Chains A and B, each alone.
Chain A
Amino acid sequence: MIYLDNSATTQPDPEVLASFEQVAREFFANPSSIHQFGGKAEQLLHAARKQVADSLKVEPAEIVFTSGGTEGNNMAIKGIALEHQDRGRHIITSEVEHPAVYEACQSLEKLGFNITYLPVDENGTVSAANVKRAIRPDTILITLMHVNNEIGSVMPIREVGNIAKQHPKLFFHVDDVQGLGKMPLTLKNSGIDLCTYSGHKIHGMKGTGILYVDKRTRLFPLMHGGEQERALRSGTENLAGAVAMAKALRLIKQKETDQAKRLQGMQDYLRSELAKLPGVEINSPADAAPHIINFSVPGVKPEVIIHMLGEKEIFISTKSACSSKQKDESKVLAACGFESSRSTSGLRVSLSYENTQAELETFIQALSEAIQQFKEVMR
């Protein structure tokens, strides 16, 4: 089995699983309970929060444990909008955001908010100058992804952060679900007020995630109840999940440091080999994040290739898993300006540090055969 769909989800790390199971067995209590069972659970939750904060170089009070990336994005965007709507009702985002951001913004339009969806260039990147131009006196939020989930394009987060710093009244949220562990991003003094992370994209557990909330940032909560997580996120804490998240984060940060070159090397290999295949067009920009490469084989339905590779136990994907059931055009590829033969035939390979050069060689061989076979049939 060769798994090359790591931007959809990843296989949990055995060490993460071991932590999860140990906590589930030994620290089952409700951290809000005031007896010693609860006390121990609470201590462990503190420790997990501290570890996450240390990994991200922020303060423990700025970490909110969530059920995943979608909740983190919704909590940030709707939380800012509802809390600060008296100050203004304008939000800036881009046309290539993940649905968890894009649709959250659309839902706010129904509530009377005004959203600017910035375009991207042919590299799938938003320009910082366009962000700056879009800022109005009533802008309360800029929300941008760090790394695009379909093509791996990297947004100018540092520049936008610096712009946001000059407008102290607006908040800047980053969806870093795809960048975490692959593209370093500094939070402190970056102008970023909120940042979303997901556990299952970094070999952690599904149902876990983190929202970084700068300590000066006030949010309206998405869920009401027992006021856990500084009243930002009610609900009994998923302690085993939080510990697993902390562990997954520590491990991926280590790999980000130790194995960046190897990951980039694998992508470089794919890029040069794909370029050699007749009929293949590479959609990811040259400076994409090191783990994603998107390409099209115009004239061949992507599902056919997925299926042919699947028979050889090689797994890649079309567009984002979260929108794979919609009509066949990729919104992201269309936004980059690709014509429809290309935007409807996009395929994505997404790597993890667990992949090997040998796996990629097998994949390239299989892909090459698949395309040839298809062309022969269609002749």
Chain B
Amino acid sequence: MEAIYLDHAATTPMDPRVLEAMQPVYQEVFGNPSSVHSFGRKARQWLDAARRVMAGSIGANEKEIIFTSGGTEADNLALIGTAMANRDKGNHIITTVQEHHATLHTAEYLETQGFKVTFLPVDESGSVKVEHLEQALRDDTILVSVMYVNNETGVVQPIAEIGAVLRDHQAYFHTDAVQAFGLLDLDVTELGVDMLTVSSHKINGPKGIGFLYAADHVKLQALQFGGEQERKRRPGTENVPGAVGFQKAVELAQKNKEANQKRYQHFRQLFLDELRNENIRFDVNGEETATVPSIVNLSFPGTNVETLLMNFDLDGVAASSGSACTAGSVEPSHVLSAMFGSDHACTTNSIRFSFGSYNTEENVTEAAWRVARIVKRLTER
């Protein structure tokens, strides 16, 4: 039986064109961009070109792009880097209970370093409320970090509204846009964000690379020390082939943004229609109209997440119970717990399906049919 991948929010297959774009870099432009000879300068030119594309994709200046080893590093750099560098301005940080662990655990670490952190709640819609942010904001708040799109529910957060609230406040505004990039418009000026995280492997690019946008005025302390790469904010020999692959992925994502939106919207609708046709009982977690089209989180009453995932997997449907990043464990989702309360049934019977480049109408329909068959079997008593 053909296995069907519906877990693009965990990671995506690399686009063959990305791999193709990387090949000449490995073979011909392998120099160290910091070397002064022409080999190094050529590598530097490619790196700069990649940086310009990153900057252009979010309306930033190329000097404001810091290449990192991925989303986790960018989130860590944004939070720890600004918290440590701006202690003189205050001790208070605001984030939300439903952030990705790369933000959440970093905020918890900052608490151990003496920072006061407010974790904003989310309601059943899966969204944070701007009013809650306004209430939490204090004069000594130095940083606000809110993800753009939740990775488990796909719910889009009110980033531009929060950006507007913070416009006249000293606090820096960081958004983890890992799940938003390629599907939503991202203009850092319009959004009013000072920092923004993007990861390559979530948009069909290579693993091991991402970037942090940090506006020119952001005072940031480096997490690592060494050479003076990335304007002293992130040392280490630059991953030029990775950056060029990432560049291609960004270009493709931008070019195909509208087509992909439509395509994934169609897949999601197809998937849900198919389940409804099969008379499966399910609820959509999070405000359905407020999500990105690539993610749908479904609760199947009367089932259990581990049994579901095991059976899906045996039948060749690859989905997940939420973030893959909790290293292989099936813990109750912290996002759904935040939305519905930790004792609510949906925290232990929900599955995230995420659509992407691997999918076709045929395999989405087939997957829905397999899911329906399993859910029926598990709920028939």
Which A residues have a C-beta under 8 Å from some C-beta of B?
A: 3, 5, 8-12, 17, 21, 24-25, 28-30, 32-38, 42, 67-71, 73-74, 98-101, 103-104, 106-107, 198, 200, 205-208, 222-228, 234-241, 303, 306, 310, 315-318, 320-326
Contacts and interface: CB of A to CB of B under 8 A. Distances in A.
Contacts of B71: 235-236
A251 to B, nearest CB: 15
Interface residues of B, number: 73
A222 B39 CA distance: 32
Given A5-B35, A100-B225, A200 B324 contact: no
B14 A100 contact: no
Given A30-B11, A34-B313, A104 B226 contact: yes
Contacts of B309: 34-35
B312 to A, nearest CB: 7
Contacts of A24: 14, 19, 206
Interface string B52-86: 00000000000000000111110110000000000
A106 B232 CA distance: 14
B130 interface: no
B10 A227 contact: no
A70 B37 contact: no
A207 B23 CA distance: 15
Contacts of B324: 30, 32-34, 38, 226, 236
A98 B224 CA distance: 13
B70 A35 contact: no
A227 B208 CA distance: 16
Contact of B206 (A74, A223, A240, A321): A240
A324 B69 CA distance: 23
A245 B98 CA distance: 35
B239 A207 contact: yes
B312 A35 contact: yes
B40 interface: yes
B100 interface: yes
A321 B76 contact: no
A67 B36 contact: no
Interface string B232-246: 000111111110000
A1 to B, nearest CB: 8
Nearest to B206: A24
A259 B53 CA distance: 43
8 contacts: A8-B31, A12-B30, A25-B16, A68-B237, A70-B235, A100-B224, A225-B75, A227-B101
A29 B10 contact: yes
A44 to B, nearest CB: 13
B201 interface: yes
B29 to A, nearest CB: 10
Contacts of A29: 5, 7, 10-11, 318
Nearest to B107: A224
Contacts of A222: 76, 223-224
Contact of B105 (A99, A225, A316, A324): A225
Given A224-B109, A234-B101, A318-B36, A37 B224 contact: no
A34 B225 CA distance: 35
B26 A12 contact: yes
B69 A207 contact: yes
Given A8-B31, A303-B36, A70 B236 contact: yes
B316 interface: yes
Contacts of B118: none
B156 to A, nearest CB: 22
B224 A70 contact: yes
Contact of B225 (A28, A37, A104, A235): A104
Contact of A70 (B10, B106, B237, B326): B237
Contact of A9 (B19, B32, B199, B226): B32
Contact of B227 (A42, A67, A224, A322): A322
A269 B226 CA distance: 33
Contacts of B102: 223-226, 234-235
A30 B7 contact: yes
Contact of A235 (B37, B72, B320): B72
A200 B30 CA distance: 9
Contacts of B32: 5, 8-9, 321
Contact of A322 (B3, B27, B34, B242): B34
B289 interface: no
B50 to A, nearest CB: 13
Interface string B34-50: 11111110000000000
B92 interface: no
Interface string B294-327: 0000000000000001001100111110011111
A69 B318 CA distance: 35
A98 B10 CA distance: 36
A89 B319 CA distance: 47
A117 B164 CA distance: 49
B73 A235 contact: yes
B225 A99 contact: yes
A74 to B, nearest CB: 4
Given A32-B326, A225-B101, A228-B325, A241 B73 contact: no
B72 A236 contact: yes
Contact of A236 (B11, B108, B312): B11
A67 B77 CA distance: 15
Given A241-B208, A317-B35, A71 B236 contact: yes
